[in-house]
Amino acid sequence: MVEPIAAVRRFNRFYTRQIGVLQEGLLRSEFSLTEVRVLYELAHRESQTASELGQTLGLDAGYLSRILRGFSRKRMIARTPSNKDGRETLLRLTGRGRKIFGELDARSSTEVRALLRDLTQREQGELVGCMESIERLLGEHQSPAPLVLRPHRPGDMGWVVHRHGALYAQEYGWDERFEALVARIVADFVDHFDSRRERCWMAEMDGQIVGSVFLVSQSKTIAKLRLLLVEPGARGRGVGRRLVDECIRFAQAAGYRKITLWTQSNLVAARRIYERAGFKLVGKEPHASFGFELMSETWELSLPDASP
Q: Is the pLDDT of residue 143 over 60?
A: no
User: Do 298 and 187 lie in a common domain?
Assistant: yes
> Domain for residue 243, yes or no?
yes
User: Do 104 and 195 lie in a common domain?
Assistant: no
Using 50, 70 and 90 to split pLDDT, how confident is the model at 2?
low
User: Do 97 and 154 lie in a common domain?
Assistant: no
> Domain for residue 297, yes or no?
yes
Q: Is the pLDDT of residue 22 over 50?
A: yes
CATH number at residue 265: 3.40.630.30
User: Do 199 and 255 lie in a common domain?
Assistant: yes
> Domain for residue 192, yes or no?
yes
The more confidently predicted of residues 11 and 254 is 254
Number of domains into which the chain is organized:
2
DSSP alpha helices (H): ranges in the chain?
4-18, 33-43, 50-57, 61-73, 95-116, 121-138, 156-172, 176-191, 239-253, 268-276
Q: Residue 85: its pLDDT value, please? A: 63
Query: Per-residue pLDDT averaged across 60-87, rounded?
Result: 85
Q: How far is CA 290 from CA 160, 175, 230, 296, in A?
A: 18, 5, 20, 12
User: Do 163 and 109 lie in a common domain?
Assistant: no
User: Do 75 and 198 lie in a common domain?
Assistant: no
Using 50, 70 and 90 to split pLDDT, how confident is the model at 144?
low
> Domain for residue 229, yes or no?
yes
User: Do 184 and 277 lie in a common domain?
Assistant: yes
Q: Residue 141: its pLDDT value, please? A: 56
Query: Per-residue pLDDT averaged across 16-34, rounded?
Result: 78
User: Do 108 and 229 lie in a common domain?
Assistant: no
> Domain for residue 132, yes or no?
no
> Domain for residue 226, yes or no?
yes
Query: How many Å apart are CA 114 and CA 229, to the nearest integer?
Result: 30
Q: Residue 308: its pLDDT value, please? A: 46
Over residues 53-69, the pLDDT tens digits come to 888 888 888 999 999 99
User: Do 39 and 151 lie in a common domain?
Assistant: no
CATH number at residue 10: 1.10.10.10
Highest-confidence segment of 87-91, 124-128, 160-164, 231-235 = 160-164
Query: Per-residue pLDDT averaged across 201-217, rounded?
Result: 94
Q: Is the pLDDT of residue 305 over 60?
A: yes
> Domain for residue 137, yes or no?
no
H, E, C per residue of 122-152: HHHHHHHHHHHHHHHHHCCCCCCCCEEEEEC
Q: Provide the domain limits for residue 31.
A: 4-118
The more confidently predicted of residues 231 and 25 is 231
> Domain for residue 108, yes or no?
yes
User: Do 297 and 152 lie in a common domain?
Assistant: yes
User: Do 158 and 93 lie in a common domain?
Assistant: no
pTM of the model: 0.57
User: Do 154 and 241 lie in a common domain?
Assistant: yes
Query: How many Å apart are CA 78 and CA 97, to the nearest integer?
Result: 9
Query: Per-residue pLDDT averaged across 291-295, rounded?
Result: 95
